[in-house]
Amino acid sequence: MAGGIAALFGIGASAQEDAKDEAFTFRQGERVVLIGSTLADRLQHFGWLELRLQLAHPDLHLSLRNMGWSGDEVALMPRPLDFGDLETHLTDQKADTILMCFGTNESFAGEAGLEKFRTDLRTLIERLSAVSFNGESPARLVLVSPIAQEQLVAPWPDAAPRNLALEKYTAAMGEEAKAAGIRFIDLFHPTRSLMAENSGAPLTINGLHPTSDGYRAISEILALGLGVSDPLPRDEAAVQGLRDLIIEKNREFMLRWRPVNAEYVFGRRKEPFGVLTFPPEMEQLDRQLTALDEKIQAEAGKVAASKP
């Protein structure tokens, strides 16, 4: 069993064994991008995954961007008018590694939708494998399964039927990842075990969407799948300070990438005022994001140096 959060939540066996199958190493200056539905989208509010990656590799100057969008499916990503397609935004972010978090929404189609899901997933993998978003080499794709549905007390429904569907979609994702030769991180089985053994507060707010502690555990499983298992430093205040910086960076990225006034930024009302007002503001947000990345990287180096 890995130390740190893994020990705290009882995570280890299957996720850690998967991580050992093939070494996963990050490169200098690597940009990691998350895409997917609500599981990925809400990850931005808690900062646990980037915290783990930054502290494990303080010398690599990693950066992470969350492009998750609640409601997304592998073949359904509705966006505002003229927002731009997925490839456009992955190119804008110069994605080196892409974590693809899908399967939850699609699993509601049950057995009848499984073959379509496989086909759509294969198509998306082929699409993203064909583009060098960083201008140098194709992005590394990492397929990430759904989490299990947590069984909560009445009046919440029985989670067993949903978990049967989720398990089938997880298996399909693992098979498609293997066929495509890309990495697969199984969140379903470790979270199902974790939820069954948990005697404390629920790890989700409604059976589906994790709490902060839930995301902390999920991020540990993801980190293990990406080759990170070192315990966190003991200086909790310093760790929390770094996490706060990460959460603030995520907030500013959302303002830049997914502005609430999209109709004025790139939609039907961008003329005449948006084209004058918003480009300089977007450039300012870009500078702020770069500064926050650098601050996070520098702080990660300081905090990591304090490890026992």
Range list of H helices, the chain = 5-9, 13-21, 38-43, 48-56, 86-92, 110-129, 160-180, 188-197, 212-225, 236-257, 262-265, 275-305
Give the pLDDT of residue 308: 63
Residue with tokens 């500078």: 287
Peptide bond connecting 272 to the previous residue in cis, omega within 30 degrees of 0? yes
Residue 251 corresponds to which amino acid? R
Note the pTM of the prediction, 2 decimals.
Answer: 0.92
Give the pLDDT of residue 18: 44
Taking residue 254's Cβ as centre, other Cβ atoms within 10 Å add up to 17
Give the pLDDT of residue 273: 77
**Residues written for the chain:** 308
Domains and CATH numbers, the chain: 5-232 (3.40.50.1110)
Going residue by residue through the chain (308 aa), what tens digit of pLDDT does each one get? Answer: 334 445 545 554 444 444 445 679 999 999 999 999 999 999 999 999 999 999 999 999 999 999 999 999 999 999 999 999 999 999 999 999 999 999 999 999 999 999 999 999 999 999 999 999 999 999 999 999 999 999 999 999 999 999 999 999 999 999 999 999 999 999 999 999 999 999 999 999 999 999 999 999 999 999 999 999 889 999 999 999 999 999 999 999 999 999 988 888 888 888 887 787 888 888 999 999 999 999 999 999 999 998 66
Give the pLDDT of residue 87: 97
